[in-house]
Chain A
Amino acid sequence: MNDVARPANTALNDDIGEDVRLKLFETQVVIREAEQRAYDLFLQNLVKGTSHLSLGQEAVAAGFAVAMKPGDLSFCTYRGHAHTLARGVPVEKVLGELMGRDNGLMRGKGGSMHLTSEEHGVMGSYAIIGAHLPIACGAAWRAQYKGQKDVSVCFFGDGTTNIGAFHEALNFAAVWKLPVIFVCENNFYMEYTPIGDVTAVPHPAADRASAYGLERIVIDGNDADAVYREAMKAYDKARAGGGPSLIECLTYRHSGHSRADPAKYRPEGELERWKERDPIKIYRERLKQFGIADAQIEKIVSGVKATVDDATEKCKAAPIPPLDILTTDVYADGGWAWRN
């Protein structure tokens, strides 16, 4: 286990095109820089509570999001910063929420584990493992019932494959032939424990696919092109009425499970091996292979860094949420009244 994902076929294939490639790169850099900043802000005690970073897993978020159409829906886990940013939610809104400021995405009422921006198609980040797989089925059912062409894309980790809701949702989606895509980010650790120690099959998602009549799909989750291509295939199939897909993306998180985890359980050298296959490093090389000039690449990176710096300063200067929002939006009337 823990083998570094096999590189995808890197033969030059221009099926993706320059505009999309630049978007894939920029999206990954946004996630990298924003996540790194979130970590730095922890160390300054400006981000409180917990947080689950996607450093090292950027290609999965970027590949699936860039392949989406407006109106497609993302359902994320508590490790959801990356998927939220990938749909174009401003960095300031995400960092503001992590910092508990009034400019945050939910004005501090949700926090790191519940990032939601329905206007960007980010239909929530769910902190109870497995909960959002059935919820994504429901959104897909609505599309099917109303004859709408959007797809629902549900991201989760390898640990999720051992909870009941995963299996209920897979069967349900297959039986109802729903336009939903289940994306397993297999980063090889459920939390602190290697996934292989607690799972009966080597590939926690893909090896379960046959139980639900689905194709077995394992891809290199550190190569944004491979992710993008697989995403497009799955979306096209779903939009054409072909039903759900389950895609296992092999990747690796560079940080621990959460803020509290220094990840000392990893065998020596494992992190270093995976860092050689850092998705952003891979993609820089890819851009060069396609003749994108260093200057253009650096311009993208410096632009993203400026955006993250600017967002950080705005968040530091932003007011804290007013106490008058404490009990708003418990019910649809905007308040919390439970009695007359």
Chain B
Amino acid sequence: MAELTYRDAVIRGIAQEMERDPDVVFLGEDIAKAGGVFKATVGLYEQFGPLRVRDTPISEQAILGAAMGAAMTGLKPIAEIMFSDFIAVCFDYIANEFPKSRYMTNGQTKCPLVVRTGNGAGSRFGAQHSQSVENWCMMIPGLKVVAPSSPADVIGLLAASVRDPDPVIFLEHKSLYPTKGEVPDGEIVDKLGTAKILRPGKDATILALALMVPRALAAAEKLAAEHGIDCEVIDVRSLVPLDTQTILGSVAKTHRAFSVEENPRLCGWGAEIMSIIADEAFYDLDGPLVRITTPHCPLPSADVLEDAILPNVDRIVERVSKTLNS
């Protein structure tokens, strides 16, 4: 057991998979000699050499297209898109190419690749470098979508993504890079499609993802201390595949569900999960399904404004306590 940052967990996760399988290759902008703009790939170029860890031009379409062509013909590429906002300039591969090739070709084409990308707000970068785009990816049949919240999950879920035979969008939260957590020694391999109950509770279920997970956990402690409300906090971790059984099982116990979503409100991941709960667990519910999200608004840059627009501990506490006490 060692304490590791989320950032160093990315490095360890990639290295673990590259050591295991020579077909794992890694490409992206500034990822090799520079070690990544978030320093989340430092040392990989030195360890694995210029043939396996390759700097690319600022050409997001070329990065994802090349990853796909390599994946189709036998490699297991990891491609980095520096900021998840940039997915918009190469969305053809995310929306049209990776996820549809297997289906359209009646199973002939494979596409085992991972797109790692820096997602989320908190860095004061403004509206085009701070978005949470998990819902852009979640809506597309054929993709898998993963967003870890802890260093141990980064390694385990990254390993599971690299070993997965389908294209996986792996969303690393930029504000979590400096955070620390305990990480077991040796190889770590997790499982996609598994949510984790991080805090058991009996009064309400709070569903969260990535940066919203530590906020939901802090809110749960406050709700217990100040309002006597015992919340169960679930880290959804994997949006596709989605672990609905863990979520529905929790709601059957607590009879209440809240989602804490960093994405803007419309069509956020919580909407899909809440519709599943409404459809399949309606009679378990004692109250409304409540989504706590960023508003339907671009993200501002100034620290005070950015902090104010995202769901935070106080907003979570307020919405949960008001809903349960009304």
Contact = CB atoms under 8 A, between A and B. Distances in A.
Interface of A: 73, 105-107, 109-110, 114, 116-118, 123-124, 126, 128, 130-143, 145-146, 152, 164-165, 168-169, 171-172, 175-176, 325, 328-334, 336-340
Contacts of A331: 102, 142, 144, 166
Contact of A146 (B74, B103, B243): B74
Contacts of B93: 131
A138 B61 contact: no
Contacts of B52: 145
Nearest to A325: B106
Contacts of A130: 61
A169 B67 CA distance: 12
A134 B106 CA distance: 23
A165 B106 CA distance: 26
Given A117-B108, A165-B65, 6 more contacts: A133-B65, A135-B68, A136-B69, A328-B107, A338-B242, A340-B244
Nearest to A165: B61
A109 B242 CA distance: 26
A244 B278 CA distance: 55
Contacts of A134: 59, 61-66, 68-69
A183 B316 CA distance: 57
A240 to B, nearest CB: 19
A139 B69 contact: yes
Most buried by B among A105, A114, A138, A139: A138
Given A124-B105, A139-B70, A330-B142, A169 B241 contact: no
Contact of A339 (B72, B75, B108, B241): B241
Interface size band for B? 35 or more
B229 to A, nearest CB: 28
B105 A137 contact: no
23 contacts: A106-B104, A106-B108, A109-B103, A109-B105, A110-B106, A116-B104, A123-B73, A131-B93, A134-B65, A135-B72, A135-B97, A137-B66, A138-B69, A139-B72, A142-B74, A146-B74, A172-B62, A329-B107, A330-B102, A338-B240, A339-B243, A340-B242, A340-B243
A146 B101 CA distance: 24
Contacts of B54: 176
Contacts of A164: 61
A336 B77 CA distance: 23
Given A128-B96, A172-B62, A106 B105 contact: yes
B298 interface: no
Contacts of B165: 332-333
Given A172-B57, A330-B141, A338-B241, A109 B69 contact: no
Contacts of A131: 61, 65, 92-93, 96-97
Most buried by A among B56, B63, B69, B77: B69
Given A139-B69, A338-B141, A332 B101 contact: no
Interface in B137-153: 141-142, 144
Contacts of B108: 106, 116-118
Contacts of A143: 73
Contacts of B72: 123-124, 135, 138-139
Nearest to B55: A175
Nearest to B99: A330
A49 to B, nearest CB: 13
Given A106-B104, A340-B193, A142 B64 contact: no
B110 interface: yes
A138 B70 contact: yes
B105 A140 contact: no
Q: Which 3 A-B pairs have the closest CB atoms?
A: A134-B65, A138-B69, A332-B165
Interface string B141-171: 1101000000000000000000011100000
Nearest to A172: B62
Contacts of A118: 105, 108-109
A138 B65 contact: yes
Contacts of B106: 105-107, 109-110, 325, 328-329
A236 B304 CA distance: 61
A333 B193 CA distance: 14
Contacts of B105: 106, 109-110, 114, 116, 118, 124
Interface in B2-45: 25
A136 to B, nearest CB: 6
A141 B70 contact: yes
Contact of A168 (B62, B74, B142): B62
Given A128-B92, A168-B57, A329-B103, A137 B69 contact: yes
A141 B66 contact: yes
Contacts of B166: 331-332
Given A116-B105, A131-B97, A142 B141 contact: no
Contacts of B220: none
A325 B104 CA distance: 11
